[in-house]
Amino acid sequence: MALLKILRDPDPTLRKTSRPVDAITPRIRVLIEDMKDTLRKAEGVGLAAPQVGVLRRVVIVDMGKGKLQEFINPEIIYTEGKQEEVEGCLSCPGKAGIVERPAVVTVRALNVQGQTFEATGTELIARCFCHELDHLDGVLYIDKVKEMLDPEEN
């Protein structure tokens, strides 16, 4: 088990665009395992590779009941509706704000075996898909926030 250091805003790496993974090498498999360990330890819902300083299109999302799913080269292929909820980010500790996101989001990606799969999320998972995929393009939720909340009220 290896814990990775989570970069914090305004680290410039968080603002860069990540490159696709062209082969699922042992190095990528280790990255995924380490990201899962790091996400579990941080008690977050999702983690994107640029948050641990690796500019590759890999995210991990907690799909519920502790099932951490890797998404390699993820793309949003369908969205529906909208929701406004409170979001935070492991790279922006101590902050939270209200962000508008789609209500339903379907993502297509590769798993660590290199198989294409699709996953659909609502509520927290839908927000997490959008939030984590934004990280791959150097976008943070604080760029999209409608209203930052008073930290005292969190």
Catalytic residues: 132
N residues, the chain: 154
Virtual CA dihedral for 90, 116, 114, 19, nearest 10 degrees?
Answer: -50
- State yes or no: residue 45 binds Zn ion (CB under 5 A): no
| Nearest to Zn ion of 32, 135 (CB atom) | 135
How near is the Cβ of 113 to Zn ion at its closest, in Å?
A: 26
| Nearest to Zn ion of 21, 136 (CB atom) | 136
Integer CA distances (angstroms), 49 to 16, 54, 134, 151, in order: 11, 5, 12, 27
- State yes or no: residue 89 binds Zn ion (CB under 5 A): yes
How near is the Cβ of 154 to Zn ion at its closest, in Å?
A: 16
What Rg value do the Cα atoms of the chain yield, rounded? 15
Integer CA distances (angstroms), 23 to 40, 87, 96, in order: 26, 32, 36
Beta carbons of 118 and 106 less than 8 angstroms apart: yes
| Nearest to Zn ion of 24, 90 (CB atom) | 90
Q: Could you tell me which stretch among 28-36, 64-72, 85-93, 100-108 binds Zn ion (CB under 5 A)?
A: 85-93
Q: Could you tell me which stretch among 1-9, 19-27, 88-96, 115-123 binds Zn ion (CB under 5 A)?
A: 88-96
Q: Could you tell me which stretch among 66-74, 83-91, 113-121, 143-151 binds Zn ion (CB under 5 A)?
A: 83-91
The first and second tokens of residue 111, run together, are 């798993």
- State yes or no: residue 109 binds Zn ion (CB under 5 A): no
Site of interaction with Zn ion (CB under 5 A): 89
